[in-house]
Homo-oligomer: A and B are copies of this chain.
Amino acid sequence: MNLKAERGAATRDRVLAIATRLFADRGYDDTSIEVVLQESGLSRGALYHHYAGKDALFEAVLEATESAIGGKILAAVRGITDPAAALRAGVLAWISLAGDPVIQRIVLIDAPAVMGWERWRAMEERYSFGMLKAALGATGAVPAEFLDLHAHMLLAAVNESALMVARGGDHTTAVAAVEEFLRRLLRH
């Protein structure tokens, strides 16, 4: 079980890359399985053999994207020991990453609607939200009973500013605004 498994994995990766691009360019609804088939040269049966359906394909794309984001943010934070500085660095890294239209459309816009809020939230917990909550907790600036909710609110706020930057907003102003926002929140 080697050549077969490798072929399967390669096919899944190929489809995943193509689907990622298409979902990002056109959004979930306007991306047909048909065109994924066309661009990948795969047959219907083959695709449905690897992915249970269109939403399962989207979920795989989202998972891969979130994982990649998580890695990049971890890299941006690595080596920073001061909790507040690490939080700040992570947030700014995330805002830069969100300039990528792939991330905007897939992670921030379509994901909650396609996967449903609960499942979307569960996945965020394992990636961006989990990291942010840990960082925010480390600063000790937020009362423990509010940590979870404040982490959620902060992530939502940062996501929103990332979306605004991505849609033609001024990057430097947004960064300054987010830093001020963070400064106010962390002051106790």
Contacts and interface: CB of A to CB of B under 8 A. Distances in A.
Interface of A: 27-29, 104, 109-110, 112-114, 116-118, 121, 143, 145-146, 149-150, 152-161, 163-164, 167, 169, 173-174, 176-178, 180-181, 184-185, 187
Contact of A149 (B104, B113, B118, B173): B173
B113 A146 contact: no
A161 B149 contact: yes
A174 to B, nearest CB: 6
Given A145-B173, A173-B145, A185-B184, A28 B153 contact: no
Contacts of A118: 167
Nearest to A111: B113
B113 A28 contact: yes
Nearest to A28: B113
10 contacts: A28-B113, A110-B113, A143-B180, A149-B169, A149-B173, A152-B164, A153-B158, A153-B160, A153-B161, A156-B156
